């Protein structure tokens, strides 16, 4: 039993998943770049950072995680509703 009807379905699914993943990564890079421009230092990369307080590290993690999550949701929504309305739809044999 195949989840995809043809190779085009596999390619579309892989491209859509890639777009969702890339959107989160690009947004994270943009946030890091903005942080460097504003604060003139690197954003927190580790919980053990001596240059940042725990509150700063937790706040930065929550902000970037929330925004990256929203970006992934928006990308998925755009793909599902505007590009491919059958994206993530269960194949007929599973319905």
pLDDT in tens, 33-70: 999 999 898 888 888 878 888 898 889 989 888 888 88
DSSP string, 36-50: HHHHSSPPP--TT-S
* Residue 91 and residue 3 in contact, taking contact as beta carbons nearer than 8 Å: yes
* Residue 14 and residue 24 in contact, taking contact as beta carbons nearer than 8 Å: no
- How high is the pLDDT of residue 2? 58
Looking up tokens 């993530």 gives 88
Enumerate residues 6+ apart whose C-beta is below 8 A from 29: none
Look at 6 and 87; give whichever has higher pLDDT.
6
Answer whether 0.75 is exceeded by the pTM: no
């Amino acid at each position: 039993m195949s989840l995809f009807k043809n190779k085009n379905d596999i390619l579309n699914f892989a491209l859509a998943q890639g777009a969702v993943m890339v959107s989160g990564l690009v947004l994270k890079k943009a946030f890091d770049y903005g942080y460097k421009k504003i604060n003139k230092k690197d954003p927190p990369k580790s919980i053990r950072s001596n240059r940042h307080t725990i509150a700063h590290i937790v706040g930065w993690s929550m902000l970037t995680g929330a925004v990256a999550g929203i970006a992934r949701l928006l990308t998925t929504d755009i793909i599902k509703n505007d590009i491919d309305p059958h994206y993530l739809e269960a194949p007929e044999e599973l319905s």
